[in-house]
A and B are shown apart, each in its own frame.
Chain A
């Protein structure tokens, strides 16, 4: 069963701009799915169409097998949305925002009160329940939107950059929360510009650029495609020039740090013994960039104009 299926989805805005040029996408039920792409790629446009906020120019959307046009009420009740921009009534209290939302989905009052308490506690907002939402910090507003999206217990949760502008502690707790929600059976689609977030949370991934899907596969096989890994090595003693090692590219960043590009077939053990042989002591090692980030840049760079490959 697919939680979401998009078929040949196109969108041309009124000003003539073609934001989506025909998107096909399937997300399986239970998946934790990353929808990535640079600014302006069309992620929010696609999410807008899925959540009935944007009219598609053509194509179809189906949520858990319910066509969004023909079977609208059923399709919509499966979906919970955390939009990119704050969109609740800023004059309402946190609790009322959730209670109203539950009401819109037809939740009886008693259950709505229980769900509201549960979701606000899950998002660490219960002690803020009577605060007028305008007075919340930016990170709290994001959490209100997540709590609001969960109040009707949706089967598919779409989050459009939920962790943007959120401090690291809260981001961590959001990750935990998203994983928890996913483990309880909710399918999650996440967009983010923090690629390490996508790498650690998501099982499958699509990358969208200039209104087209340029990559769609599972995270593991995507990462194995990475041929070269980049590391930064800290050295015990300063050296004057970068050592030369067959097959690897080595750059001297400072006298005590090296940037190394290692092909996959070159083992790290071998690299270390080669460096050892040249009397270079390594005190620590880290990834230069996140692995997914390298792939992402490769995919985006190789297709800068959006011309179909």
Chain B
């Protein structure tokens, strides 16, 4: 059995899906983040001064890029997988001789591609407002890919467990968005009062944002190694859980 072809078919299908509906998938992040850069970076940022020696505008760029990567890798998988559950075309994959790990990696790859593509769009937009030289390319790329993987996996699990369209908007609205905003996108954790600094350390997004900021600017609140360990740990845990759900057929088989 040639699983390469099956894998490629799923990934291509996923990429064509979000490109076909680009006004819903690629355009909105461009507009929202342009507004972030304009309002927070330019208008307000000019009055804030610098954090850790960089201008506020530059300081928020990595966080805003990564926030877009997170929400779009998640959104791609959750909406694509849930709608194929809803329309029952997921059955095509279940009947076909495709192992679960190929199904999973196909959907996850689709989510990673969308997350990274949106990340690139946002990065290009940031160049209209500021001029950032990348401090460390391998770390920047690695943490972007790993972060996209974590949230694509989370989106997959959400889609498998979801029983209605409401269920696929709860996590993004009530978990992802708050965690992203509290993940040090707009501020350094050093600026928080002591107890909130400790609480923030429980937020995984904080580690990813800081590692990404280190990659781009060379500035971080957190040990980079720890960031990679935590991100890797999430990937392993979420992958195992996804494969377990697929194996049991939870949410997709009777």
**Residues of A bordering B, CB below 8 Å:** 13-14, 48, 51-55, 72-77, 79, 81, 83, 85-90, 100-101, 103-109, 148
Contacts and interface: CB of A to CB of B under 8 A. Distances in A.
Given A73-B1, A103-B6, A103-B9, A53 B89 contact: no
Given A100-B9, A103-B8, A88 B89 contact: yes
Given A87-B87, A87-B88, A108-B5, A14 B97 contact: no
Nearest to B3: A106
B91 A53 contact: yes
A103 B3 CA distance: 9
A107 B5 contact: yes
B249 A55 contact: yes
A87 B253 contact: no
A88 B94 contact: no
B89 A87 contact: yes
- Contact size class for B? 20 to 34
A56 to B, nearest CB: 10
28 contacts: A13-B254, A51-B94, A51-B95, A54-B253, A55-B254, A72-B97, A73-B97, A75-B97, A77-B97, A79-B95, A83-B91, A85-B88, A87-B89, A87-B91, A88-B89, A90-B87, A100-B9, A100-B13, A101-B96, A103-B8, A103-B10, A104-B6, A104-B98, A105-B6, A106-B5, A106-B97, A108-B5, A148-B92
B93 interface: yes
Contacts of B96: 76, 101, 104-105
Contacts of B24: none
Interface of B: 1-6, 8-10, 13, 84, 87-89, 91-99, 249, 253-254
Nearest to B20: A91
Given A14-B254, A100-B9, A53 B92 contact: no
A106 B2 contact: yes
Contacts of B88: 85-87
Nearest to B93: A104
Most buried by B among A55, A83, A86, A87: A87
Contact of A88 (B9, B92, B253): B92
A89 B89 contact: yes
A2 B222 CA distance: 63
Nearest to A19: B254
Contacts of A51: 94-95
B6 A106 contact: yes
Contacts of B92: 87-88, 100-101, 104, 148
Nearest to A14: B254
